[in-house]
Structure 1
């Protein structure tokens, strides 16, 4: 009986795996468990994409940053909004007729503790249920046919500064969820809930004692070596780990063969590095955890003792590629700190670490000498640290800015070209740390920022690049007026799509980067372009609605130059190109093309 139950549990998510194999359907935000954001649909090609037309549109009724993308299952599209996190089920047979609507009843007080806009990165589908994690951390399982609540559970406590902006990911019989709140001193954790009833299966913290982090000091490794006992506790002063941040508010990936879940942790609390001596493990780190137990297989800290707010939460993209003539399971990660990392995802071995933005100056490089005691650590340029002269001092000219050379907007990978398509940002900053005392539910930031374009440049603050993860170099680059805040989409038709903060949906050639198509949507695009098929036609869909960290000044009507964690003035010109909105735009080729 135990054996049979084990088999049944292991196969509990065959439904999701089957649907992931169908490119016409989208059941998770990243299109597949590997986070490639690659679609095998090929009706829209480099030769005909210029003929795309708007097929239909839908207004969400909400005017804040629209991140994430819709899902498509069995002829129904599921669309989410920013706070208050409304969910719509739309009938694809009737150009988006509303089948049902779910609107959470959550306190507006949570809006006050959400860093960098009221965004939500979307829904997931599994076993006839649509899953949403609300801003107040409540997870709800909605009946996909009716919208009725099957179960709900609170993952955190907004009174302690905990909130949510991330999507969720169903894996086997569990739902993987993160949390936000590092800017409020919240102690980050990744949790797994049982799909059937919402009970907690396991929880793993980013900081603290080994048992609470689900780390085995002898078996969990960093760069091939055991992390050792109390690896986190030894890297914090006193009890600082309790408000240590490290919140996993980004994206998750899963390798069914290895049964490992991959994700990154955010910045340590506070932004003032002088208040938290040590490496502050395991903030700013990549984790590989067993999906069944949550135990960490390996971990790698990219930015020890973060002095710049370089959260490590950006997506982990899983590929199988040949390295030195040998097939290897790889993980590629474009970090906020400006470096692109390629690791062996089975062992955590670091294979490549190079700047994907040549303007990065806080570190000269990553030490790749395996015999070195600092192997895998950044080679810092002390000129751009933020604690050498203590607090209440402005440290200038740091690149990238805290917003990152790339933020959470996901990249894509094409097996046809072997290239990664990466939305990037080009901003530098002045950073002034100051002392801040911790109080539950109150901001625990401890720094003010001023962000601006790199000196001596043309004033453009964005690039959309193609990256070779094995050679560690840019294959081609498309300059953009503003940071590219939309997620990329690569397709079997040889086309790559992305959106711009001005509101353009753009299509470029996957091999050359040559622009093939553009269309101006009603508001700036911070959502992720997606594709699906219905009735024999391939469609492209994207949410537009200016917001997110880059658009927070416009979305929230900010007037203080220091508001929006330094972003307000950095993107002040956006108001000349776009306005608030909340719309889904769906594109297709004319019938017969």
Structure 2
């Protein structure tokens, strides 16, 4: 029997105003037997009502079948399942396969774009792609070269294409897209190349650009209203972004939008975060650098921002704010609230009212976090909502060409893009985390279009005085801002999690293990080592009334860039190569889908 509470919690976020949204897509999203968009649902909960696989029998899981993608390097994202077809994507060159689940996974069609390989060195942290999306009979892919492609889901034929950026300037793509109503919403990558971040909507049926909202710049280009767009309940004021940059630095200011997007049909708002300001040397960009490192709530029809909140003003550590925004309806102080929970790269997990942008909780979700003592939560304070920076770990205060040591977390954050899961049964968030610290030395750098614009040298290592590993998988209470339990891991947990009504939570490890744990206690119930390290996201579906679990393995991403790109200098990969050097003792390159099921 499916858990009714679970269904109600997820469906309530999807069905509220179905007439306003794409009803056919919402119907598919609400079918637990299918996996239609990368996040599983609009709320980004990555929760499934399926309970055929549960805490009592998950230990009996077996490999049902496998599929080689034919591509090495990092495999992020997950397959989709719509009806009897599975859609599998790869890293560059961004191949898409349609597999027939009724015919032993026979390849129905294959789309292989012809992209210029010169885009590869412009991709900062491996050639990853976080997957395709489905809507209106079309599969949507955002390629590395920023080409947005709509494919006929039945035949694989190209329906339309649109160019979203310019790789010669450093603009690339690693993210999935969000289908909302009659639009496809897409972001852009390239913060390490001094691009100016934006989010863009394209007509789902024609590919025509509907609107574009920049992360920083003049109000009219950001699609903000100085009187109606609020920050912590107050209007942001005229040209608040421009006033926070020196001169025209905002034109190469970063704030890219390569993370996860969520949508509330009832409020008709979508949510996402912006990335680091450019350059990584904070001395070259005085000011708050608005609106990098910011959560935005926008209207999908017009792109206009209703509210925003900058988490890390004048970022000094590369703490991109692009991680997932998870939408839940929960009780706070006896009142049901529409919440948004965001575990940020900066090591703080934020709980906000997603309708108003009110900040309710900002708490460390790794005790090792030391760059800040916490966020000022006093509404009467002049620094309300701002993190209080510890001078010892301030790369700006210590200055250029000074190596600031022992900063926690490292630039890859307490977590990077690897998405969390939420179970409405336990009202708990399951967060894959990094437990990594760094040394950070800024230096002066000049801007040249299409060339790296970083301006810092990093080294990374496990957090001291801890379990010696570089990761934890944690259960998080977003109302009280507390860790319920934590599972230490030798390496960062770079896989997206999945929670199910069967009281099981799944995640993968960089060594290549798929693990299943009890959603209440964290007790390990199952593990299986796949052929390569896992940085993909666990998904589930049914076929012929049988539940399956699917995961892509293929080590890579920022943590695995040394293996993926054959790098050996410890400072390469923006500091990750040295930190994860031991990973090569446990896994090697790969590209495989592994599907699990219970024995018949």
Q: TM-score range by the shorter chain?
A: over 0.9
| Structure 1 match to 2:575 | 566
In structure 1, the residue matched to 2:259 is: 250
CA 1:196 to 1:230, structure 2 compared with 1: closer, same or farther past 3 Å?
Answer: same
CA shift, 1:96, in A, is: 1.2
The answer for the alignment partner of 1:379 in structure 2 is: 388
Which residue, out of 330, 334, 337, partners 2:343?
Answer: 334
Out of 571, 578, 583, the position equivalent to 2:592 is 583
Q: Distance in 2 between matches of 1:285 and 1:276?
A: 17
Question: Which stretch shifts more, 89-98 or 421-430?
Answer: 89-98
Specify which of 416, 420, 441 is matched with residue 432 of structure 1. 441
For residues 127-526 of structure 1, what are the structure 2 equivalents within 5 Å? 127-526=136-535
306-315 vs 13-22, which moves further: 13-22
Give 4+ residue runs of structure 1 displaced > 4 Å after superposition: none
Counterpart Cα distance in 2 of 1:75 and 1:86:
20
1:542 equivalent in structure 2 = 551
Do the aligned partners of 2:170 and 2:190 also contact (CA within 8 Å) in 1? Answer: yes
Residue 458 (structure 1) shift: 3.4
Q: State the distance in 2 between where 1:41 and 1:457 align.
A: 36
Q: Secondary structure at the match of 2:560?
A: helix
User: Secondary structure, in 3 states, of the residue corresponding to 2:240?
Assistant: coil
Once the 2 structures are TM-superposed, how far is the Cα of residue 393 of structure 1 from its aligned partner? 1.1
Does the CA-based 8 Å contact 2:570-2:579 persist in structure 1?
Answer: no
Match of 1:108 in 2: 117
Offset of residue 583 of structure 1? 0.1
Q: In 1, distance between residues paired with 2:92 and 2:513?
A: 24
Partner of 2:6: none
Distance 1:210 1:11 in 2: 27
> Per-residue deviation at 1:11?
5.2
Give secondary structure in 2 for the equivalent of 1:89.
Answer: strand
- Local SS of the residue matching 1:587: strand
Partner Cα separation in structure 1 for residue 506 and residue 103 of structure 2: 26
* Correspondence for 1:533: 542
For 1:503 and 1:213, the matched residues in 2 are separated by 41
Q: 2:96 aligns with which of 73, 87, 94?
A: 87
Would you say the 8 A contact 2:20–2:265 is kept in 1? no
Which residue does 1:557 correspond to in 2?
566
- Which of 29, 39, 53 is residue 30 of structure 1 equivalent to? 39
Does the CA contact (< 8 Å) of 2:467 and 2:488 recur in 1?
Answer: no
Partner Cα separation in structure 2 for residue 459 and residue 494 of structure 1: 29
Q: Indicate if the aligned counterparts of 2:21 and 2:265 stay in contact, CA closer than 8 A.
A: no
Shift in Å, 1:93: 1.1
SS at match of 2:71: coil
Root-mean-square deviation (CA, aligned residues, Å) is: 1.0
For 1:480 and 1:486, how far apart are their aligned partners in 2? 12
Structure 1 unaligned segments of length 5 or more: list them: 1-6
C-alpha displacement of 1:376:
0.6
Aligned pair count reads 584
Using the alignment, how far apart are the partners of 2:491 and 2:89 within structure 1? Answer: 25
SS at match of 1:549: coil
